A and B are shown apart, each in its own frame.
Chain A
């Protein structure tokens, strides 16, 4: 182990401190909003990239906050996976923020500082979640992210406060379940430190108490990640939230919660307990995930609004990752973790595209998407790349995580899950090609003229979204291809975190 570093703490502290400064200075002048939002995120992104490089070179380490030794103090764990998650969170947040800034200016004039205060605290909370190695600390951070989310959703228009209230109820139930689970564990082990708990659980007889603890903790997290059929709160909350908030929630919230589920399984209960001593539960969850995928995809097919459709796709993707991880083999787990990253980036791409479209058309109902290819060619091209990634067309990254998931399903003999994944790909293809057909091949009320040497001359002029919305979209779309072609190194980094026996 080389010299200790505090870098991960700075990464986390930057948005947190900036949030408070922004709250104060933002009242004085709007000029402060942009530098105080982008500044810390640029810092965090650069820092987490440095941290990842360091961890990949020198191995992970654990860190005791304030030098209080575990199991009493709070321990942070910086391993390859959490370092990668930090890069993901800061990178996505930074990209989304470029587009979020003009949106907040448009939707919440005068209260930008309030919005971005919550926004930055949420980002800091998410970073804390991926770092913590303490089960109770995890609960606290989960609540920090939830409460900021409730606030941000409630800032939306129309029925948004109701959607937020709905989410408060469901989110609180989820958090309580998780807390109850940890409570049981505390009674059993007398500890809250993950590694410590895992060591004690190994020595415990398996009984109903442990099973109850496990069930509460996992179901609590399932509610938080909107695992079908516990998803009821998500579509309204995410589609009615302010556009800028949706850009941050959609790519990150469900994915970070899935990461937490993976952490709790790997580092607290251990895979031996979760998967191998209860094979029926294990395969039952995979089947539940298969059903979740099929149902959520079918629900998505019924939507007539782009953003709502995307929220249901998000729920289906949660099924991919839950099912993939519970396949309990190396390929499936790799696929699930890889999909956390890929799905985050492709969801960001599609939500950025939706935001860019909405900036011109106002509404995202399908009727408004006709002929968009002529007026917004760049946006629609990027949207198409994102769509292909969700469908799983190579060489976009969505194909490769699906590849690992399918392979895991084949190895585990879970044909139902395999069929569900393929079904969902096909449904995605139908949904997105419906939109592509509208946007590319349906002229807006105007029959095509073939009588001209150059038939394109008489169409509506190009009216792209403003650059701050377009640039992050194009970058994200390009990232989908780069990440797809870089699957090899990403997977070898993910494999560092997986249990050795796989």
Chain B
């Protein structure tokens, strides 16, 4: 890959970080403030997309900011893997921004300026993680993301929100300082560099035991990936406003966690090294526990957002599983699932938010018959659910299909069985919701006046739902990026 120095990656990262300034300055003028938000979102997507042709052609971009530690600058690099993630995140941010406006205004939420400013900072950090050229830069943006999300989790400012905020920070900051930071430093000490290099930097640099320790520290340290037992923050964070849950806890934050693990596996350890040590298989079985347990817990949740949260925990581990199996198909499936799950899960969360905006209902047991009053929302929910379950003609099918093939390639039949079981469990916790919404008799006393949510809420969730369908028919761009990332 030939990288050309360019300011584009920096601009893509910074546009929303600098955007917090006009957002905060237009505190008293909500229309202006929201115009800024949308403008920045579209600008960011265009900046990211403008780099796509070069990346698809096998090129890339770099930008070095500061040489802070000898040999480890704060530097950005656009490569296929980062491009893939940035494309998904920046596109979905546009949808979420529009949705946020509808949601926050309809519910007349307080502190909206803080909300939009923190959001802009969070997406900046997300793109920063995607475009990081080395572990130090990634750690930096990872922490910025943790901290900028905190005000969003505690947004409600009541006792429950503060408690969840504490839990969120304890898990996320505790693991990143306690595990990820020492892992980064040990890596630097043994390898002498932190640059993401295709094929890894650790081969032949340390004993298998130390490598195992580093891998454990990384997997535990990136707790945003929600791998059990470090998943507890995600259900707690559901106290945040729904756009936050949908974008940050369905796409940005959690995907940053798995993306970081994928980066470490591909570009710090390297598939060959992990294969020779057989650590990939151990990691695969470890995350299988999360896949199954999270799905089982999801079955028991009546709060819709919590059910979605546990579903997210399970689906995130698919991504790690795919990459840890280390076969071409499984890695393709795993990385693709970042996009497929993102489109599916954001749709589901946006639907949950739309239901709340329209009817103030949070619990599945209250949603009997609601589908007849909100057909568009529940239709989109249906599509999102099918994508997560992994059925054609939705994007989720492609990634799960690759994962299944990967499990066969890796000769891990137990994992194949687990994948199929999990899909059945996914169906078991999603389909009853849809059944109840469309076919169950509404409980007595349900107001018949409930209508669909406002257009600002409805349009984004339709776009993401249709996006899930489109990804089944046209996964081409994403597939090419993933192939480039893995072939590197």
Task: Give the contacting residue for A410; candidates B30, B107, B189; CB below 8 A.
Answer: B189
Binds A, one of B169-177, B243-251, B280-288: B169-177
- The answer to whether A207 has its CB under 8 Å from any CB of chain B is no
A-B CB proximity, top 6 nearest: A455-B110, A394-B140, A488-B67, A487-B68, A410-B189, A485-B66
Q: How far is the CB of A65 from chain B (nearest CB, A)?
A: 38
Docked pose: A159 CA to B150 CA in angstroms: 40
* Contact between A443 and B157, CB atoms less than 8 A apart: yes
With a CB–CB cut-off of 8 A, which chain B residues contact A400? 68-69
With a CB–CB cut-off of 8 A, which chain B residues contact A454? 28, 30, 112
- The answer to whether B188 has its CB under 8 Å from any CB of chain A is yes
Q: How far is the CB of A410 from chain B (nearest CB, A)?
A: 5
Q: How far is the CB of B449 from chain A (nearest CB, A)?
A: 21
Are A452 and B108 CB-contacts (below 8 A) given A403-B69, A441-B154, A442-B157? yes
Query: Beta-carbon contacts of A454-470 to B below 8 Å, as 1s and 0s?
Result: 11100000000000000
- The answer to whether A165 has its CB under 8 Å from any CB of chain B is no
Task: Give the contacting residue for A407; candidates B30, B111, B139, B189; CB below 8 A.
Answer: B189
- The answer to whether A448 has its CB under 8 Å from any CB of chain B is yes
Are A410 and B169 CB-contacts (below 8 A) given A426-B178, A456-B113? no
- The answer to whether B109 has its CB under 8 Å from any CB of chain A is yes
With most chain A CB atoms within 10 A of its CB, the pick from B65, B70, B112, B177 is B177
Docked pose: A430 CA to B231 CA in angstroms: 20
Task: Give the contacting residue for B74; candidates A395, A411, A437, A449; CB below 8 A.
Answer: A395
Extra inter-chain contacts (16) besides given A395-B140, A450-B110, A456-B113, CB under 8 Å? A392-B177, A395-B74, A418-B182, A422-B177, A426-B174, A429-B173, A441-B157, A441-B165, A442-B157, A443-B157, A456-B111, A485-B74, A488-B66, A488-B69, A488-B70, A491-B69
With a CB–CB cut-off of 8 A, which chain B residues contact A275? none
Docked pose: A450 CA to B144 CA in angstroms: 28
- The answer to whether A406 has its CB under 8 Å from any CB of chain B is yes
Q: How far is the CB of A75 from chain B (nearest CB, A)?
A: 33
How many residue pairs link A and B with beta carbons under 8 A? The number is 105
Query: Beta-carbon contacts of A419-443 to B below 8 Å, as 1s and 0s?
Result: 0001001100100010001001111
* Contact between A422 and B162, CB atoms less than 8 A apart: no
With most chain B CB atoms within 10 A of its CB, the pick from A404, A440, A452 is A440
Chain B residues numbered 184-209 whose CB sits less than 8 Å from any CB in chain A: 185-186, 188-189
Query: Beta-carbon contacts of B6-28 to A below 8 Å, as 1s and 0s?
Result: 00000000000000000000011
- The answer to whether B166 has its CB under 8 Å from any CB of chain A is yes
- The answer to whether A208 has its CB under 8 Å from any CB of chain B is no
With most chain B CB atoms within 10 A of its CB, the pick from A433, A451, A491 is A433
- The answer to whether A388 has its CB under 8 Å from any CB of chain B is yes
Closest chain A residue, CB of each to CB of B73: A488
* Contact between A433 and B188, CB atoms less than 8 A apart: no
* Contact between B182 and A425, CB atoms less than 8 A apart: no
Task: Give the contacting residue for A441; candidates B65, B109, B139, B162; CB below 8 A.
Answer: B162
Show 17 A/B contacts (Cβ-Cβ < 8 Å), sorted by A.
A395-B140, A400-B68, A422-B178, A422-B181, A426-B177, A429-B173, A433-B169, A450-B110, A452-B108, A452-B110, A455-B110, A455-B112, A456-B111, A484-B68, A485-B66, A488-B68, A488-B70
Interface residues contributed by chain B, number (CB under 8 Å): 45
With a CB–CB cut-off of 8 A, which chain A residues contact B169? 429, 433
Chain B residues numbered 116-147 whose CB sits less than 8 Å from any CB in chain A: 136, 139-140, 143-144, 147
Task: Give the contacting residue for B109; candidates A410, A455, A484, A485; CB below 8 A.
Answer: A455
With a CB–CB cut-off of 8 A, which chain A residues contact B66? 485-486, 488
Docked pose: A288 CA to B27 CA in angstroms: 51
* Contact between A442 and B174, CB atoms less than 8 A apart: no
* Contact between A437 and B162, CB atoms less than 8 A apart: yes
Docked pose: A429 CA to B105 CA in angstroms: 34
- The answer to whether A453 has its CB under 8 Å from any CB of chain B is yes
- The answer to whether A393 has its CB under 8 Å from any CB of chain B is yes
With a CB–CB cut-off of 8 A, which chain B residues contact A393? 143-144, 147
Docked pose: A437 CA to B162 CA in angstroms: 7
- The answer to whether B161 has its CB under 8 Å from any CB of chain A is yes
Docked pose: A395 CA to B144 CA in angstroms: 9
* Contact between A407 and B185, CB atoms less than 8 A apart: yes
Docked pose: A485 CA to B136 CA in angstroms: 13
With a CB–CB cut-off of 8 A, which chain B residues contact A453? 30, 105, 108
Docked pose: A406 CA to B67 CA in angstroms: 19
Are A440 and B68 CB-contacts (below 8 A) given A394-B139, A422-B182? no
* Contact between A406 and B181, CB atoms less than 8 A apart: yes
- The answer to whether B151 has its CB under 8 Å from any CB of chain A is yes
Docked pose: A437 CA to B166 CA in angstroms: 9
Q: How far is the CB of B267 from chain A (nearest CB, A)?
A: 20
With a CB–CB cut-off of 8 A, which chain B residues contact A410? 182, 185-186, 189
With a CB–CB cut-off of 8 A, which chain B residues contact A487? 68-69
With a CB–CB cut-off of 8 A, which chain A residues contact B178? 422, 426
With a CB–CB cut-off of 8 A, which chain B residues contact A484? 68
* Contact between B166 and A433, CB atoms less than 8 A apart: yes
* Contact between B185 and A403, CB atoms less than 8 A apart: yes
* Contact between B139 and A388, CB atoms less than 8 A apart: no
Docked pose: A440 CA to B155 CA in angstroms: 10
With a CB–CB cut-off of 8 A, which chain B residues contact A403? 69, 185
